[in-house]
Amino acid sequence: MAAKGQRSYPKNTIIVTEGDKTDSLYVILEGRVKVFVSDDSGNEVLLQTQGAGEYFGELVLDEGPRSASIMTLDASRFLVVPKADFHDFVAVR
CATH of the domain at 36: 2.60.120.10
Q: What range defines the domain where residue 82 resides?
A: 6-90
Closest to 15 measured CA to CA, from 55, 68, 64, 71: 71
**Chain centre to alpha carbon of residue 23:** 10
Query: Structurally, how many domains does the chain consist of?
Result: 1
pLDDT in tens, 16-60: 998 888 788 899 999 999 999 999 998 999 999 999 999 998 776
Would you state the pLDDT for residue 36?
96
| pLDDT exceeds 60 at position 93 | no
In-domain check, residue 55: yes
pLDDT band with cut points at 50, 70 and 90 for residue 90: low
In-domain check, residue 1: no
In-domain check, residue 61: yes
CB atoms within 10 A of CB 71: 18
